[in-house]
Amino acid sequence: MVWIVAILILSVIFIFASVPRMYAQGNDQDSKKYTSVIQNVFDFIQKRYVEDVDPKILYEGAMSGMFKALGDPYTAFLPESEMSDLNDTTHGNFGGVGLYITKPTAARPDGRPPYVEVASPMEDTPGWRAGINPGDLIVEINDESTDALSMDEVLNRLRGTPGVEVKLLIRRGEKLEFPITLTRAIIEVPTVKHDMIGSIGYLKLLTFTPMSVDRTKEALDDLKGKNYTSFILDLRNNYGGLLTSAVGISDLFLEGGVVVSTKSRISSENQVFTARRSTVVPSNIPIIVLINRGSASASEIVAGALKDRGRAFLVGEKSYGKGSVQQVYPLEQSGFRITTARYYTPSDVNIDKIGIPPDREVLFPEFSDDEAEKLNGLITDNRIPAFVEANPNANSEAVNAFARELNSEYKIDLSLLRRLIRNEQNRTAIAPVYDLEYDVQLQEAVNILKNGNYGQLMQTTKTLRELQNEAVLEDDTALAS
């Protein structure tokens, strides 16, 4: 009986061990077959097409189609121009309008055309000063609809020679639609802004570049000299950036332990990134992290690490939900960007297409459909820009008086009008590091730190794994009922 059982076990092991080899062999044969077909079609077009064809055009078309077939908005072939732009961005400057965008590869589930969506504007750039917000749709670029354009074609139209105007048609919500003309500028990738809010150290991290960690350390040294007793890390509208920078930023707040892990198809390439034992921000300093729907990728790595490790309390709104890692590979002058892994927070959760929920949700007032129609009239009348241009140094009293005037004419929420006026003021001048008077999310963070209930709130927070398990349990209970 022992021999029979042993033989059966060995037989089962052999069967399971043989399946991957057979599958791999089949894949290899298919790859050779399709590669041969592609080569034959390539040769046939060059020899038989009615006109001469530049091999480079066929090559770039085949490469673009191959990556587009993956259905991943973050994976794409990069022709020479795109590789050049990418290199410019990596070095810190390029000609453009300052918008981080995404674009579906197919029609949206709700049936709407796959227009370009703004993930976040870069601060102090033409797009930001024009008032473009995360979630806005770019319906047209220079009178050309974006639904049929590829991401590369969109970037080619937005980026280019500084000083050249680019006309956009923006759709906000269901009914609000308006034109904006931007003038391209040299976009220098910003990194960090910081200041004190009373005894609270405030640091706004704008993006994750090779210099982000060093600039953050410099800011923390400056805040330390001003004796901060608590800390706010603002990751709102931060589209992300380098994985290594996200790990380095997290390391400033964590004492050892896991920051993030990445998992790919090849198990040997899986990585676990940990923090060092020492920390720059002492462990007894209360920390609040601000996030919103423009917080993506590397921002979510930092927010997820500090939340899962019980190091920070999150305030704002659910983050964007980009939980994948891309790498860029050169091909002579061109190249490609490809998703190679997904990342997981310390509690082993991937937040792709899900996002990170805040511990305390604080939303800015939203306008109704009726207000959207009235806002169209307000924008068309150009009342707010005209007021700011005529009153560049208007104080809070003057702003409130003008907001009441607009409220009586357009019947739009007074707090929304005040915020629109202040946003216009900030766009036409050097933006302040923070705006405590009108920023309700920042106000809530400050209140939590000043009211002394931070410790109690931290005892009620849950890891992303716990939240995910609760969501699954709720879904199962709903199905059972």
Give the tens place of pLDDT for each residue, 359-408.
999 998 777 788 888 888 898 888 998 998 899 889 989 999 999 999 99
Tell me what pLDDT residue 61 has. 92
What's the one-letter identity of residue 296?
A
> What is the model's pLDDT at position 375?
87
Per the structure, the count of domains in the chain is: 3
Exposure b/e, 282-315, CB count within 10 A at least 16 = b: eeeebbbbbbbbbbbbbbbbbbbbbbbbebbbbb
Q: Are residues 121 and 139 in the same domain?
A: yes
Q: Which range (105-114, 149-158, 366-375) has the least confidence?
A: 105-114
Q: Which two tokens stand for residue 241?
A: 């950036």
Length of the chain equals: 481
Q: Name the active-site residue from 245, 322, 324, 334.
A: 322
C-alpha 270/C-alpha 63 separation (Å) is 27
Residue 297 falls in the annotated catalytic set: yes
> Residue 247 — left, alpha, or beta (φ > 0 → left; ψ -120 to 50 → alpha)?
alpha
Backbone angles phi, psi at 165, to 5 degrees: -80, 145
Question: The CATH number of the domain where 223 resides is what?
Answer: 3.90.226.10
139 and 115 in contact (C-beta within 8 Å)? Answer: yes
pLDDT per residue over 409-451, tens digit each? 999 888 889 888 988 887 666 668 999 988 999 999 999 999 9
Least confident of 14-18, 139-143, 227-231, 402-406: 14-18
Query: Average of pLDDT values for 263-282?
Result: 94
Same domain, 181 and 215: no
Rounded Cα distance between 164 and 273, Å, is 43
Instruction: Quote the pLDDT of residue 49.
Output: 93
Task: Give residues with Cβ within 8 angstroms of 241, minimum separation 6.
Answer: 207, 208, 209, 212, 297, 298
Domain shared by 183 and 204, yes or no: no
294 and 197 inside one domain: yes
Within-domain flag for 384 = yes
Q: What percent of the chain has pLDDT over 70?
A: 88
Domain boundary among 359, 391, 422: 359
Flag whether 276 is in a domain. yes
**Residue 278 among the catalytic residues:** no
Do 133 and 201 share a domain, yes or no?
no
| Average pLDDT value over all residues in the chain | 87
Domain region containing 317: 192-359
What pLDDT, in 10s, does the model give residues 215-257? 999 999 999 999 999 999 999 999 898 899 999 999 999 999 9
What local confidence, expressed as pLDDT, does residue 1 receive? Answer: 36
User: Which token pair is 457?
Assistant: 């709130």
* Beta-carbon contacts of residue 466 (< 8 Å; ≥ 6 apart): 347
Task: Residue 99: give its domain's CATH number.
Answer: 2.30.42.10
Mean pLDDT in residue range 261-282: 95
d(CA 468, CA 453): 26
Residue 135 pLDDT: 80
- CA–CA distance, 105 with 117 (Å, rounded to integer): 12
Amino acid of residue 204 = K
Residue 18 has pLDDT above 50, yes or no: no
- Residue 271's contacts (CB-CB under 8 Å, 6 or more residues apart) are 261, 262
Backbone φ and ψ for 278, nearest 5 degrees, come out as -85, 160
pTM above threshold 0.85 = no
Q: Pick the catalytic residue: 120, 230, 250, 297? A: 297
